[in-house]
Amino acid sequence: MMLMIDSHVHSVFRSFEDFEALGIAGVTDVVSVAFYPVAPSSPTTLIDHFRHIVEAEPARFNGALVKFHPSIGVHPRCIPPKAKSVLDYMREIVDCCVAIGEVGLEAATDVEMDILREQLNLSKEEDLPVIVHTPKKEKRAVTTKILSVLKETGYYRVVIDHVNLENIDLVAGFDVYVGLTVQHGKLNPEILLKIVEKYVVSDPEKFLLNTDLGREPADLFSLPKAVQFLRVKGIDRDIIELISGKNASSLFRI
C-alpha cells in the first residue's frame, strides 16, 4: 500500500468523519500541529491546547482509518504572556511527539524570533524535526529571516512550510525540507506542477506535500487529488511516492 502522509493538519478543528473519509481516499497518516485561533490570554491556554493534542486526539483517532501523529509548538500568532512557562511544559511532554510545530515567524518581531530560537534549540536537544510556518504577507522577507535564525542555531532538521513561487528559490537550495501546501489560498494543482517540474524532479527527497486542513473552509481531499493530478501529468511514480509519503515518513520517523 502506498504511503500518503499529510504532514501538516490541525486535527482539533476537523471531525472524526473527516478523517474516516481521508482514510477511504487513501491518506494513511496525518501529522497534527498546534495552532490556537485567538491570541492566548495566558500560558495555560496553550498548555491545555497541547494536552488536547497529545492526550485527547490520539484517543479520538482510535478506530479512524488514518494514523495520528502529534506535534506541539508555539505558533508566531499564538505567543502568550509568560511564554517561557509554555516552553518549559513542552519539555515535559515532547517525548510523545513526532515534531515541534507549528512554529515560525509571522511579522518577524524580536519576540517571535526569540521564541523561534528557543524552540529550535529544544528541537536540537530532543532530536526532533521542526515544522516552520511562513506567512502570507512579506513571505520572501520573512523567509530570509527564518533562514538566518536556522543558520544561527545550526539546526536544519526542519520543514519550511507553505512554500510557494515567492520564496521557493530561497529554500530549495538550503539544507532543509520544503513543505508544499496544496489548498485554497496556497498552492493550486497547476502551480504545484510548475514547482514539481522546476525544483522537485531534480531533488525529490526534500519535498513534502500537505493540506493545512484546519478551521478554515478547505478541500478535504486536496492531497489525494494532487497525487492523482501529478500522475495524470506524467510525473514519475517514484517522485510522487517520495513527496506524498516516504519523505515525511523518513523525517518524522513514522
DSSP string, 181-236: EBSTTSB-HHHHHHHIIIIITTSGGGEEEE--BSSS---TTHHHHHHHHHHHTT--
Say which residues have a Cβ less than 8 Å from residue 181's Cβ, sequence separation at least 6.
8, 161, 162, 163, 187, 210, 211, 212
At residue 200, the pLDDT reads: 97
> What integer pLDDT is reported at residue 140 of this predicted model?
98
18-61 pLDDT, tens digit per residue, is: 999 999 999 999 999 999 999 999 999 999 999 999 999 999 99
DSSP 12: G
CA 145 from chain centre, in angstroms, equals 18
Task: Tell me what pLDDT residue 62 has.
Answer: 84
User: Under a CB-based contact definition with an 8 Å cutoff, are residues 94 and 122 in contact?
Assistant: yes
CB–CB of 212/8 below 8 Å?
Answer: yes
Cis amide bond preceding 92, omega within 30 = no
User: For the chain, how many structural domains are there in total?
Assistant: 1
Give residue-wise pLDDT tens across range 53-93.
Answer: 999 999 999 888 999 999 999 999 999 999 999 999 999 99
Length of the chain: 254
Q: How far is CA 102 from the centre of its chain?
A: 6
User: For 149-174, what is the mean pLDDT?
Assistant: 95
Please say if the pLDDT value at position 188 is more than 90.
yes
Please give the pLDDT value at position 133.
98
Q: What is the DSSP letter of 165?
A: T
Per-residue pLDDT, 147? 97
User: Can you give the pLDDT at residue 79?
Assistant: 97
What is the per-residue pLDDT for 156? Answer: 85
Average pLDDT over residues 117-137: 97
Residue bearing cell 489548498: 183
Question: 1-5, 19-23, 94-98, 186-190: lowest mean pLDDT where?
Answer: 1-5
Distance from the Cα of residue 73 to its chain's centroid: 11
State residue 149's pLDDT score.
Answer: 97
Domain with residue 176: its CATH number is 3.20.20.140
- Give the predicted TM-score (pTM) of the model: 0.96
Side chain identity, residue 109: T
What value does the mean pLDDT take over residues 183-200? 97
E-strand ranges in 26-108 read 29-32, 67-72, 99-104
Q: In the predicted model, what is the mean pLDDT of the chain? A: 96
The pLDDT > 90 percentage for the chain reads 96
What domain range is 226 assigned to?
5-252
Q: What is the DSSP letter of 89?
A: H
pLDDT of residue 72: 98
pLDDT tens, 215-233? Answer: 999 999 999 999 999 999 9
The pairing of beta strand 29-32 with beta strand 67-72: parallel
- What average pLDDT does the segment 181-207 reach? 97
**How far apart (Å, rounded) are the C-alpha atoms in residues 49 and 36?**
7
CA distance 245 to 199: 18
Q: Closest Cα to residue 102, out of 39, 11, 34, 156?
A: 34
Rounded distance between C-alpha atoms, residue 22 and residue 11, angstroms? 12
Q: Is 146 helix (H, G, I), strand (E, B) or coil?
A: helix
Is the pLDDT score of 2 beyond 90? no
